Structure 1
């Protein structure tokens, strides 16, 4: 390894950069990044194209989008924070709450960006193993909270394994942890959820839990991954702290326009979401029939617990023209893509399941 030309924090120098899903060639299906397979709606494209004046900075607080989201969630505008993707807000909240000697608690395996949050803040990551079926163990997570814990992240549906946290589980968890501990409910895939028992961030906020911040995004269900728009709903003072640590002017005018147009076209967009959710359920059922122990899938992806064979199985998918996301030693996440991809996914999974 080349010697560093400057002095860096050693834990940062050792931290691997975020690994984006591999791009797919012309004859392959990209099923590695949980993207929406549908093209943007014409009305959303028009909104993006109308966002001229790029020689000027955007309005730093995205006021029109915040107002729309505030109305939707029944809160004031200062209870909404918009940033360049919900992961940006996670970094902001971790920076605002945690430093050396503090702890950040989350389930594992979960979203791969979580460990880096603690490292960048100088805090300690405390990982709590998921259950064998890929679910959060909230009882164990509550037990892992100490007087050094500053933030707990709960991902529902869990990325990459797929299951949700139930409303009853989440309510019990909140009762079990200190009321001044920040709990972030990461609901990046909330729109795809069909389980009626799943936790709902709106319900949590309406219950008056002031230590909870709910994260959602326009990247997945709304198909704006390339424009980077995410948002948080929570107590204004908590979100003020996030705003103070964030990079100003990170949400472009085009991104705000596209998000607003997406809300205007929400009925049409959610019809697409229902198509993806139904496609997901069919895919999960077929994969189980093929011999894979697929956990409950409630996002726009399914999980293949390949364990030590993960790299080998992922290579078989790539050879079949299917770009998936491999987590060596654990398993493979397959995004729900085009309808035409399903037979190829199932055929490859069937061939690899025989020796699993």
Structure 2
């Protein structure tokens, strides 16, 4: 059976990544592409690297007929996404790639994003889209909220350790480097080549990064008490990739054993042999996440390093993985392509 797919926000980076992935999927066909700012244009005009694909012309979102759409990906900006999703058919399956449905508490959403939630009814039914940990709920969901790419990286590294209580929950430091595509495709002065290249910098420091809301929600639920980590993201002059280092208090052998056991059966999360660390080069363009564990020179201290592609496993690949579950398709379909190297 072939399912009809719509992509809203098709002119952004995550929209392009969804098109790239779905183009090789045997069970999905892209029936509609929505991109208000570029409506009327062909995909060749918006993304020349996709010109070989036979795809519909981009439309205004309000022009799309959802009657025969089986699943819709919403790759729209925060705040816009909730307003659009509130108007979509109530029986339409949706995978949202924005932040609008990630936080279960509307007050927490307002705290982190600065505006009241405009689709509270839909927020209540949303399932958090970290596939490996919410697989059963995602398979039954109508609306899935994709995670933040930074939040996904940190959770793959830390969730099993928090659940197993092998680390000190009050001493978790996460230092993360993210490529510039994580900031989206909109024109921003600080993302110009002359402003960004040949250096990197910390951003959203202290208590201001919005993905902290996801960490607080998910880690506290796992531990049964408040867990608040120290988190500093850095913007690096690269197009794709996230590399994160966790500084933890806990025995390194137990940390490695816990992570290896947690992901032994997972097709997309690989725990490296003890002492090895991953690179963004080795996951680029793929739906894989690599995790390494190293003993620190200080007794009882451990380093955990995680790498994934922010546009694939951190966003669009994760979204397709969830869509497969929602449509009762084998979870790995369309996602087993090897990473790009060099």
TM over 0.5: no
Higher relative contact order (CA 8 A, sep 6+): 1
- Name the structure with the higher strand share: 2
- Name the structure with the higher helix share: 1
TM-score calculated relative to the size of structure 2: 0.32
TM-score calculated relative to the size of structure 1: 0.31
